[in-house]
Amino acid sequence: MTVTTAPHRVVVVGNGLAGARLQDEVLRRDPTGERVRVIVYGDEPHPAYNRILLSTVIAGRLRPEDIGLRPSSWVDDHADRTHLGVSVTGIDRACRTITRSDGGTDTYDTLVLATGSSAAVPPVPGMRDDDGRPAPGVVTFRTLEDCAVIAASAGPGSRVVVVGAGLLGVEAARGAALRGAQVTVVHPKTHPMEKQLDRAGGAVLARVLRELGMDIALGARAAAVRHVDGTLQVDLTDGTGVDADLVVVTAGARPNTDLAVACGLDVGRAVVVDDRLRTSDPHIRAIGDCAEHRGEVYGLVQPAWEMAAVLADDLCGVDGPAYEGSAVVTRLKAHGIDLASMGCVETPDDDETEVLTLSDPTRGRYAKVIVRKDRLIGAVMLGNPEVVGTLGQYFDAGTPVPSDRMTLLLGHLAGGPAETTSPSTMPDAAVVCRCNTVTKKHLVSAWRRGCHTTAAMAQATRATTGCGSCVSAVDGLCDWLHRADPTSADPPRVDPPGDDSCTPASSSDPRPATLVRSST
């Protein structure tokens, strides 16, 4: 007599980048669903999409349908396992059941919280309605619906005030400016993107934003949003005011932990998890923006996808590594501005640290590398994309950097390696796509399996499907493979949607850059 064992039932709360990725990772390991059956509930009505590219949608360079994570037919093909527009409203840990917004219930063997985070709306008079949501004329920057509101309002001659100049704020501001809006950015710190930039680099970025036509009000907060004679006015704490047709709030995000709190899980800044992504209930896991691991709440796509891979291994019985945290490289997605930041960006106060900086504000360039004991522990690259790939490899692998530290700033211009170096010299272990941890070896293997275009490699490895900043690197690798290993019948090349936001700035200004080297 044959005994059939039902597959392990996994219910995922959230159809964002983390939840959808977990579903995909499990299907890659268990395509037939014999071992694991994943059911996803998402409160948004849209299929999973790449939030990283929302600023490109605002700018009009991509359509909303271009940033979907899967083919349009995917949800129909998996309708019994993907429920859109249906949120989870409660969790019964004792019975291992969830209640749904449509009145139904479901059972689980493992419940995964991938609830993400919500845009924070500060308690500023006139900025929120009585329910705490954005007031009329105010919008956050988090969803496709937000993008639609911003795109509809940010036309030529319109006035847009962006509150907050972090990563999302700069991206939203640049997108609105590309639509012809007059943009004012309000930020309480001394420089924009203070989490990714030191003060000197932030000053260069502020100059770049101003030269792109934006007004930047630093060291000021929004004190009130008022309707005056049919228009909005944003009063600032420095006593000035800015007229607006739309106020875009990018003042941080709050992990969505209400479900976790209601069912009694341990919650700090987010849902507390261990190295196997387990919460205080062994039958409930958490990944992505809503998870707090070793005190860190990342709020970025790369850690979310790394968590999804670890959890998929666990669910499918694969003996994989635990999640030990993520070494994050942040890249700004704003047309005409190339910015990468990794690790430590402020100068450490110790005797074993070397710091090199290059400041070229006239051309919108700033570079800083921080080395300790011959290892790269941090870097900022603004307007200097040629060396980002090489720095990322040193940062990821923890390998010794060149003894001539200048090559870290200038790459091939100083006789050292650079991102534009021939792929033939790139080590197999070099990570080409950080979002998906795709190495040169993975891409070469995909080529040998018949993936002879960038689009085919993306389909096979997911390279280029995250932030999109590695598209040029994958293109270059394809070109090199075409020359090094030509095929008899190459298919026509079709690249995935993308933008040229990493185009380096150029200038004919002859004034020299300033190079500073210091050791602390």
- Class of the domain covering 329-484: alpha beta
Q: What is the CATH number of domain 138-251?
A: 3.50.50.60
Q: How many CA atoms lie within 13 A of 259 on its CB side?
A: 29
Helix (H, G, I), strand (E, B) or coil at 232: strand
DSSP annotation of 163 reads E
Structural domain boundaries of the chain? 8-118+254-315, 138-251, 329-484
Token pair listed for 108: 């689980």
Buried b (16+ CB within 10 A) or exposed e, 131-149: eeebbebbbbbbbbebbeb
Spatial strand order in the sheet of 97-100: 88-92, 97-100, 105-107
Packed helices 301-315 and 17-29: angle between N→C axes, nearest 10 degrees: 40
How far is 431 from 395, CA to CA, in rounded Å?
Answer: 10
User: How far is residue 83's CA from residue 78's CA, in Å, rounded to a whole number?
Assistant: 9
Contacts of 337 (CB under 8 A, 6+ apart): 170, 174, 205, 208, 209, 212, 364, 382, 383, 501
Q: How far apart are CA 123 and CA 121, in angstroms?
A: 7
Is 246 within 8 Å of 162 (Cβ atoms)? no
Nearest to 216 by CA among 179, 189, 249, 244: 189
Tell me which DSSP letter residue 377 carries: E
Residue 44 to residue 424: CA distance in whole angstroms: 44
β-bridge mates for residue 438, sequence order: 433
What is the token pair recorded at 375?
């290892």
Contact 52, 301 (CB under 8 A): yes
Q: Cβ distance 172 to 141 under 8 Å?
A: yes
Model pTM score: 0.85
pLDDT of residue 105: 97
Along the chain (520 residues), what's the average pLDDT of each consecutive run of 10 residues? 78 96 95 95 92 89 88 84 96 98 96 96 94 94 94 94 97 95 97 96 97 97 92 95 97 96 98 98 98 95 94 96 92 89 91 93 95 96 86 87 89 49 68 78 88 87 75 83 66 38 32 39
Beta pairing class for 36-42 and 8-13: parallel
Which tokens sit at 191? Answer: 């420089």
Q: Does domain 8-118+254-315 have CATH number 3.50.50.60?
A: yes
Residue type, 53: L
Residue 253 confidence (pLDDT):
94
Q: How far is CA 406 from CA 197, 199, 358, 412, 512, in A?
A: 20, 22, 10, 10, 17
Asked if the domains at 8-118+254-315 and 138-251 fall in one CATH topology, the answer is: yes
- Do residues 490 and 452 touch, judged by C-beta distance below 8 A? yes
Type and span of the H or E element at 354: strand 353-360
pLDDT at 8: 97
